[in-house]
A and B are shown apart, each in its own frame.
Chain A
Amino acid sequence: MSAPSLVTPAPAPLPVPAPPGVIERLIAVVGEKNVIREPVQLRTYECDALTSFRASPSVVVLPASTEEVAAVVRIAVEAGMPVVPRGAGTGLSGGALPVKGCLLLGLSRMKRILEVNLDDGWIRVQPGVINLDVSKEIAAAGYYYAPDPSSQGVCTIGGNVAENSGGAHCLKYGFTVNHVRGVRMVTGAGEVVDIGGPVLDPPGYDLLGVVVGSEGTLGVVTEVVLRILRRPEATRTFLATFPSTTEAGNCVSEIIGTGIVPAAIEMMDRLAIQAAVAATGVDWPDVGAALLMDVDGCSAEAEHTAEVAVSIARRTGALEVRVPRNDDERMLMWKGRKSAFAAMGRLAPNYIVQDGVIPRKDIARVLAEIARRSRERGLQVANVFHAGDGNLHPLVLYDARVAGQEHAAEELAGEILRICIRYGGSITGEHGVGADKAPYMAEMFGEADLDTMARVRCAFDPATTFNPGKVFPTPRLCGDRPGPYRPHATELAGLADRG
């Protein structure tokens, strides 16, 4: 949750050694150099992009195939070691944070693109493939993979599947879950199972819907079939500046209310604009708010919707509307937006980023409430977020060298999440619950809701081997099956069996 800090976090305690014999067995599966166990080397894996939480794994294993993953998981299960899967480690919620005594399963070596089928609209990849590399693979044919998290140049598909990653353009195109057709995964029993595939509507429960976004708690995904799309014919982009986030928020509501489904609408407030200007040299004015918007589709549709949206922006109080003259200018506008997080380091030594979601119509009110609380606490909050779907990214700025500021920043960040819950929203729109927001799950969901989710988890992973301590606010054990099993008549008649 914190930015790269000037204050060096305390190193994690020394790793707990793996149980006897485990290392040798792991080496036999993946080879000596893919079993990392030197404390110094293990430090690389102490945290993901949420650097304020750290723990050392007992061992890091880097398998190269589904079979190796399955063998490694079986070894871990037999040894009673928890397994924490990890992609590129770009997660912002501590989803890949090691737990004490764990085997950390790094999927970075599994980065092959296995099969491309443009005509049927899918691609099969290993989990370590980088998000952007999927689009690059098929770009020459005019296709792309739609979900575009800001970290898409480094984050992996496996991590995207675990987190159900979003991005600026999911407003129109949906999230990772809307683009995953099938997975091959290794379960808590160390078994390999295929869920879904290229063909739609496989009979049975929609387990895929649960696996995507399960944050590594149900198993390890070793292959993914992704839906790919033809690039739209035309994209129109514009940047509109406003006196404050109130006018900008009203503009978003009006545009959506008109029946336009933009590909993306991003909002930045004054601080975020300043940070983007400082980081990328975009010549944006010093104003209270800016909207960056993409519309796409066939050229006539894109022209029409851009015209309507621009006229709405003017009517709702835009100071200025800028249309990029060419693709370079367009790319620069988006670069300004996408580098806003990293640019925060120029405004404050540390920050906490939240990921709450609110109903879109309440954006202006919630931003005003966040601003009030930020004044009360004497801490600045920058806002750069996906306005079209109400997914806030408030960045609470602070200086960890000042006594008490870090604590105050954490409290303010927590208050912001509670505001999101109070407005009927969510504590996370795309970063995941992970270790970071697990305590807030009990505020968003009731005990029966969490119990139901935990039952699903137990169906996949009864020994809670995978990523324990994440997502759920309190540790949960599965116990035995909750109740007697009654054979069905068809089983008794031998028409079906329990497999």
Chain B
Amino acid sequence: MTGLPASLEALASARQERPATLPEATEALRRAARDDARVLFLGGGTELTLGAPPAGVEVVLGTERLSRIVEHAPLDQIVTVEAGVRLGALQETLAASGQMLALDPPWAAQATLGGLVATNAFGPRRTRYGSIRDLIIGISIVRADGTEARGGGKVVKNVAGFDLPKLMVGSLGTLGLIATVTFRLHPRPESAGTVRFPDLDAEAVRRVVLALREGQLEPGAVAALVHEGGDDLGVRFDGRFELGVRFEGFEAGVRQQTTKLLDLATRQGWGAERLGADAARDFWARHDLAREAPAGFRAKLAAQPMELERVANAAMGSLFTALEHARAVSYPLLGLAFVSGEVRGPGQVVAAVNAAREALADGSVVLHGAPAEVRAGVDVWGPAPAALPLMRAVKERLDPERRLAPGRFVGGL
């Protein structure tokens, strides 16, 4: 995604700051504080439409020049990067040491590590390795007043002080500038193998999930794709998924687990196949496309894993009916899914979002992108969380003048 979405065009006229060092970033925020200016942090711009459009931004602080890999200690399996380092470039560097950051969100070539932390982005590997909060071990931030502060450290195990790194995960630039981040790393798997289930309904996907657990299988990535909807409004979601289960690690383990899953599938009549290298690449490329394809509307659905049928019928179904070119990806072990598409009738999409929220009352439906007409009808974040007063108090303590991306976050924070 390049260029600013229509709702953010006003940003182009804001003052642009592009610090190349941490002291420069600190100075830029002090300057903004002196000018009483409202600031938006900009990384790779891949999730700019997440949240409400921030109000009255006067300074855009881009992190693209904060692009140093500060320290990679292969023996300690940690890396410290400046916020503007792009994930794709980082992975290339790490690969030379046989390591990786176990994070595979969309738009990896473009997305910056600071932005990924701020948006809590993830991909299919989360199934095995957890999300950014499970990988981040240290952070340095610059507060709205220009104060630089650190939390965590560069050792994997550390309980000294409050876990500021986790507080910053998903905070969307509303608590401070993420300046540098330290992550724990993992060895790159020696081999990988994908088993594909071409055609399952939600109930069958749910049973595969249980069978994986029951069989003590430990997949590295699991994703269920939904076939692309047609061009006309009103194409119904048929409730069927194409499921991919990838095993990673040492070859002996991959082979054993792949075989075990295929045996299980045969016994249950689930019609699974072991994919060759090309076919596996193709499946995961289609997964990536479903996450990355340009779309005016994106939503993230969260529910308990066993609620997949309800997610499919009530949430995905209604959204597919309202969208054109709808696509969806579900991570069935996590209970998380993404739906995207183009909006023709905003009223129908608003109704579909409301229906999805009603169906997933214990979960959430967050809009990562939506045209203004849809935003006018629903809060992109959904109902206020029970802990909103505490969140507001945290915001007030760290950014009392509300100058960092004001209004973008949950509850107007």
Contacts and interface: CB of A to CB of B under 8 A. Distances in A.
B121 to A, nearest CB: 11
B307 to A, nearest CB: 8
Contact of B160 (A209, A433, A448): A433
A146 B149 CA distance: 32
A227 B307 CA distance: 17
Which of B163, B217, B300, B398 counts the most chain A CB atoms within 10 A? B163
Interface string A183-215: 000010000011101111111111111101110
A301 B253 contact: yes
B281 interface: no
Given A193-B390, A357-B157, A433-B160, A445 B400 contact: no
Which of B159, B169, B214, B302 counts the most chain A CB atoms within 10 A? B159
Given A164-B159, A300-B253, A456-B162, A120 B306 contact: yes
Interface in A447-499: 448-453, 455-460, 471, 481-486, 488-491, 495-496, 498-499
A197 B303 CA distance: 11
Contact of B98 (A259, A489, A495): A259
Nearest to B71: A424
Q: Which range contains the number of B residues in contact with the other chain?
A: 35 or more
A239 B259 CA distance: 32
Contacts of B260: 298
Nearest to A187: B390
Interface in B66-85: 73-78
Interface stretch (A50-58, A76-84, A106-114, A229-237): A229-237
A446 B335 CA distance: 40
B156 interface: yes
A261 interface: yes
Given A178-B134, A204-B385, A499-B384, A481 B74 contact: no
Contacts of B150: 445-446, 449
Contacts of A301: 249-250, 252-253, 256
A199 B303 contact: yes
Contacts of B394: 205, 207, 456, 459
A471 to B, nearest CB: 7
Which of A194, A444, A482, A488 counts the most chain B CB atoms within 10 A? A488
Contacts of B395: 205
B386 A194 contact: yes
B158 A206 contact: no
Nearest to A166: B157
Contacts of B175: 205
Contact of A490 (B98, B159, B412): B412
Contacts of B291: none
A351 interface: no
A165 B413 CA distance: 32
Given A253-B75, A488-B55, A496-B412, A193 B160 contact: no
Given A303-B252, A361-B73, A456-B162, A485 B167 contact: no
Contacts of B303: 199
Nearest to A481: B396
Contacts of A424: 153-155
A175 B412 contact: no
B364 A199 contact: yes
A233 B253 CA distance: 11
Given A203-B364, A203-B410, A299-B256, A457 B155 contact: no
A198 B304 contact: yes
Nearest to B143: A452
A164 B163 CA distance: 10
A430 interface: yes
B362 interface: yes
B411 interface: yes
Contact of B400 (A232, A390, A449, A482): A482
A460 B55 CA distance: 27
21 contacts: A119-B305, A142-B216, A193-B389, A205-B170, A206-B120, A206-B169, A300-B253, A359-B154, A360-B76, A390-B157, A426-B153, A426-B159, A429-B159, A441-B161, A444-B153, A444-B161, A452-B141, A458-B393, A481-B400, A485-B396, A486-B406
**4 A-B pairs with the lowest CB-CB distances in the bound complex, closest first:** A209-B166, A301-B253, A483-B400, A259-B187
Given A256-B75, A449-B151, A456-B397, 4 more contacts: A199-B363, A207-B390, A452-B147, A455-B397
